[in-house]
Structure 1
Amino acid sequence: MNAAKRREIFRRLKEHNPHPTTELEFQSTFELLIAVMLSAQATDVSVNKATKKLYPIANTPESILALGVDGLSHYIKSIGLYNSKAKNVIATCQQLIDKYKGVVPNTREALEALPGVGRKTANVILNTAFRQPVMAVDTHVFRVSNRTHIATGKTVLEVENKLVKVIPKEYLVDAHHWLILHGRYVCKSRKPCCGSCCIEDLCEYQEKTSDI
C-alpha cells in the first residue's frame, strides 16, 4: 500500500469519527489504567459493568489497596482471569503509592515495570491519557492492519513498528482508536462488513464481502 492510500484512509476515518476514544469508562488516568489492566482477554462492556460498581467504592491506589485481593475480586469476578488480575492490580497500587505518590507515571519504562502492565497496556495509557503518538496493537488493530495492508506483519511488535512509521503524523495520535473501532464494528473478524466500509475502495483485502 502506498503513502497516498494510507493518508486517504485516515482522512476518511477522521471524517467519519473526528474525536475517537476508548470505550472503556473512566474519570482519571488511574481509573483508565485499572480498566485497561482488567480488559485483557475481556470485553470493554464487561469491564465497564465491573468498574461501575467498583469505582464508586474505590477509585484511587489507596482505596483499592485497602480492599485487598479478596475485596477487589468481589467486584471483578465477572471478568475473565479475575484472580490474577486482582493480584496484579493490588501490587500495582502498592507500587504506585511507594514509588510515585499514587500518580500514574507517563513513561513506557515506568508503566511496563508495574505488575500486570505489558507493552500494549502501557501504549494505551501513553496514547489515551497522555496523548503520546504511540500505537497499541490489539487483535482488532492487528487484523485491520494486515487485512487492509496498511501495515503487514507476523507479530504484534512488527505491526506496531510499521504503523508508527507509515501513518501520517497528523493522524498518529488518534489512529489507535480509529483502527480498534473499525475492527470492532466494520472490519470484523469472521465476516467484515465491506459493503458499509468507508475505506472499501482503498483496502487491499482480496476477499471482500458485500455484507452491510
Structure 2
Amino acid sequence: MPESSATPSAQSAESGPEPGSDPGTAARTVLGEADIARALTRIAHEIVERNKGAADLLLLGIPTRGVQLAHRLAERLTQIEPSFNGEYGTLDVTMYRDDLRRQPTRAVGQTVLPGSLDGTIDDKVVVLVDDVLFSGRTIRAALDALNDLGRPRVVQLAALVDRGHRELPIRADYVGKNLPTSRSERVKVRLSDVDGGADSVVISGVTPDGGAR
C-alpha cells in the first residue's frame, strides 16, 4: 500500500446519520459561502507548501461533493502554482465499502483519471478530497480503490470538515474546519454547483439511528 499520512477514511456518507423526525431541533449554519471559500484557499496554499510545489500533484475527489471541492481546489492551485496543470479526477469507492451487505442498492459511479495520466497514478502525490470526515470508512475504501490504480508516491487527505468520531486510525492532512459534534447530529455540506443556493455547512440535531459512515 502507498505511504499515506491519511491513514486508511470515507464518501459523502461521512456526514453522519440521516435526519430524524424531531421537530424541536433546529439546524444551524456553521460555515457560510465566504468561510468555505477562505478554507479552500488556505488548503490550496497548504498543499503547495507541504509538497514544495505541485508538479506531480493529482487531486481525486470522492463523490459527490468531494468532486466539486477538488474542482475548486484545482482552480486555486492553478492560480498560485504555475507548475500545476489544473487537472483533477474522480475516485468512486462504492465497491470497496464495507457496508455493501447492509446497503446493497448503492449506485456504482465512475473513477475518472485525467487523460494525461494514461490510466496510472504511479509516483504521483495523490490528494484525496472529501466534504466531511467522520468515521474514516470512506477513506479506507478510497485507499483500497487506489491500490487497483497504481502506486502513488504518497497519499494525502483534504477534508472541508472534520467532525471527529473516528472508527479507524485515519487523519486528514488538510482540514477546512474541525467541528466538534455529537454522534446524533448530522453535518450537511451544501455546494451551489450540486445543491443550488449558497454554499454552506449546516449542523442539524437528529435521532440516532446508528448509521455511521
TM-score normalised by the chain length of structure 1: 0.24
Higher fraction of helix: 1
TM-score normalised by the chain length of structure 2: 0.24
Higher fraction of strand: 2
Q: Answer with 1 or 2: which has the greater Rg.
A: 1
- Which structure has more relative contact order (CA 8 Å, sep 6+)? It is 2
